[in-house]
């Protein structure tokens, strides 16, 4: 096995050690205020104008929906008279933002719930969008945008993506306005961190207090929440000022590995203790060759017979990218850089990281996907 410890150390010596600085991030990007949340809306409707690719006449739900629509329009039809395949029953979903006014437009997603083959070319009829409280908050209607297609002819099928799901950009109009209530009964704001961390929470509270002139109005409730006193003040003004505060975040050391794609994502400051790495394998092959000698006659004229001779050959080969490297206390970035200079491929680096974690030298959480 070829030893490249000297080359590895030389490669690391050429790398200037970079200090690990925490990232300075605005409070707005670290989380949200309690009460500031999206709202899910859902509705049931029908799509018309399909070119024979809608629900089959066997779909009782679609036939009943068409009868209801036509009856509201003043046309009374029998169930047997609704046989069109140009109609499809769909579920319509949307997300209402935390603050929405009457007349605002939002996007909607339309998905088939019957046996329709494609929604391409269809138009969504007026569909009320309801929230969990069964109140109607928006009305959806408009032509569908389908990111795929399906064509059938003579038992031949050509399909691209999923044509039974579509979107209607700005397809719903808000009919009931909503607003976020950020302050509780005690007049305080609560800021929630996306990634709970005690150190980050303390820094956010300190940054808010400094921004407000040193007053201790922000206190850490737990690793994921900061309480801010806002009684008697304009909550919107305080929120705007708080969101603009920049703090130094503290993150847990993680190394994420995707073995399927050979991807490694890690923070550059993740530390590794002193370790010696031997990467590669030695191929040993044993080949046996048998030879038969010519028949020989003994001194008295008798036939001695053939003599079988076996020659054994031992072949030891090393792969061209095998390496033994010694790394001092370093970081993930330096380790990957050194292994790359030793021509170790990505999957080999993944195996090395897993072995270092098992050896207890990797001071980070290893996540394998």
What torsion do the CA atoms of 31, 177, 44, 172 make, to the nearest 10 degrees? Answer: -90
133-147, 169-183, 223-237, range with the lowest pLDDT: 223-237
Q: Are residues 170 and 194 in the same domain?
A: no
Per-residue confidence (pLDDT) for residue 201, from 0 to 100: 92
Q: Are residues 158 and 190 in the same domain?
A: no
Q: Are residues 230 and 265 in the same domain?
A: no
Q: Are residues 170 and 54 in the same domain?
A: yes
Per the model's pLDDT, the better-predicted residue between 221 and 368 turns out to be 221
Whether residue 1 has pLDDT greater than 50: no
Element (H, E) at 235: helix 235-243
Whether residue 251 has pLDDT greater than 50: yes
CA 188 to chain centre: 34
Considering the domain boundaries, does residue 286 fall inside one?
Answer: no
What torsion do the CA atoms of 263, 269, 273, 275 make, to the nearest 10 degrees? Answer: 40
Give Cα separations from 277 to 58, 280, 335, 354 (angstroms): 66, 10, 10, 12
Q: Are residues 276 and 340 in the same domain?
A: yes
36 three-state secondary structure: coil
Considering the domain boundaries, does residue 306 fall inside one?
Answer: no
Q: How many domains does the chain have?
A: 3
Considering the domain boundaries, does residue 65 fall inside one?
Answer: yes
159-168, 259-268, 356-365, range with the lowest pLDDT: 259-268
Evaluate the CA torsion angle 145, 139, 141, 88 in order and state its sign: positive
Per-residue pLDDT tens over the stretch 287-335: 556 666 655 555 555 555 556 665 555 554 555 555 555 656 677 777 7
The residue among 133, 155, 174 that closes a domain is 174
Considering the domain boundaries, does residue 309 fall inside one?
Answer: no
Distance (Å, rounded) from C-alpha 124 to C-alpha 111?
11
Contact 137, 178 (CB under 8 A): yes
Considering the domain boundaries, does residue 313 fall inside one?
Answer: no
Contact 76, 68 (CB under 8 A): no
Per-residue pLDDT tens over the stretch 32-84: 999 898 999 999 999 999 988 889 888 888 888 888 888 888 888 776 777 78
Whether residue 175 has pLDDT greater than 50: yes
Per-residue confidence (pLDDT) for residue 2, from 0 to 100: 40
Distance (Å, rounded) from C-alpha 103 to C-alpha 143?
19
Contact 67, 230 (CB under 8 A): no
Q: Are residues 62 and 157 in the same domain?
A: yes
The residue among 206, 232, 248 that closes a domain is 248
Across 183-188, average pLDDT: 78
- Hey, which of 72-76, 121-125, 145-149, 254-258 has the most confident mean pLDDT? 121-125
Q: Are residues 31 and 57 in the same domain?
A: no
Other C-beta atoms closer than 10 Å to the C-beta of 83 total 10
Q: Are residues 89 and 133 in the same domain?
A: yes
Domain residues for the domain of 261 are 5-19+255-281+319-368
User: Could you tell me whether strands 365-368 and 254-258 are parallel, antiparallel, or unpaired per DSSP bridges?
Assistant: parallel
Per-residue pLDDT tens over the stretch 335-354: 777 777 777 777 778 888 88
Q: Are residues 88 and 114 in the same domain?
A: yes
- Whether the model clears a pTM of 0.95, i.e. scores above it, the answer is no
Considering the domain boundaries, does residue 287 fall inside one?
Answer: no
Q: Are residues 128 and 211 in the same domain?
A: no
The residue among 174, 203, 228 that closes a domain is 174
Q: Are residues 235 and 212 in the same domain?
A: yes
Considering the domain boundaries, does residue 112 fall inside one?
Answer: yes
Across 268-278, average pLDDT: 72
Considering the domain boundaries, does residue 350 fall inside one?
Answer: yes
Q: Are residues 162 and 46 in the same domain?
A: yes
Element (H, E) at 354: helix 346-358
Q: Where are the alpha helices (DSSP H) in 21-110?
A: 60-72
Distance (Å, rounded) from C-alpha 95 to C-alpha 46?
20
């Amino acid at each position: 096995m070829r030893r490249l410890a000297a080359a590895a150390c030389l490669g690391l010596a050429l790398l200037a050690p970079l200090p690990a600085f925490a990232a300075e991030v605005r409070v707005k990007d670290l989380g949200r205020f309690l009460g500031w949340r999206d709202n899910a809306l859902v509705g049931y409707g029908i799509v018309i104008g399909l070119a024979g690719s809608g629900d089959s006449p066997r779909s009782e739900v679609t036939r009943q929906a068409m009868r209801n629509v036509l009856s509201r329009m003043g046309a009374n039809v029998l169930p047997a008279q609704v046989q069109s395949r140009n109609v499809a029953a769909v579920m319509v979903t949307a997300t209402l933002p935390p603050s929405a006014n009457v007349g605002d437009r939002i996007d909607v997603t339309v998905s088939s719930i019957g046996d329709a083959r494609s929604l391409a070319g269809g138009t969504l009829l007026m569909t009320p969008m309801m929230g969990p409280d069964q109140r109607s908050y928006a009305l959806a209607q408009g032509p569908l945008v389908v990111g795929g297609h399906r064509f059938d002819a003579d038992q031949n099928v050509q399909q691209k993506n999923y044509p039974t799901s579509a979107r209607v950009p700005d397809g719903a109009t808000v009919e009931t306005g909503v607003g976020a209530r950020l302050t509780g009964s005690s007049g305080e704001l609560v800021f929630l961190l996306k990634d709970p961390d005690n150190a980050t929470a303390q820094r956010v509270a300190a940054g808010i207090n400094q921004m407000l002139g040193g007053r201790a109005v922000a206190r850490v409730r737990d690793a994921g929440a900061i309480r801010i006193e806002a009684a008697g003040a304009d909550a919107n003004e305080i929120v705007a000022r708080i969101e603009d505060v920049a703090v130094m975040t503290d993150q847990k050391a993680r190394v994420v590995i995707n073995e399927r794609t050979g991807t490694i994502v890690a923070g550059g400051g993740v530390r590794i203790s002193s370790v010696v790495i031997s990467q590669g394998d030695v191929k040993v092959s044993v080949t046996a060759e048998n030879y038969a000698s010519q028949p020989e006659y003994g001194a008295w004229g008798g036939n001695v017979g053939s003599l079988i001779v076996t020659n054994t050959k031992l072949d030891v080969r090393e792969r061209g990218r095998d390496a033994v490297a010694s790394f001092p206390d370093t970081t993930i970035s330096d380790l990957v850089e050194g292994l790359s200079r030793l021509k170790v491929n990505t999957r080999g680096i993944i195996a090395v990281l897993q072995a270092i974690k098992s050896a207890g030298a990797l001071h980070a959480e290893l996540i394998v996907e």
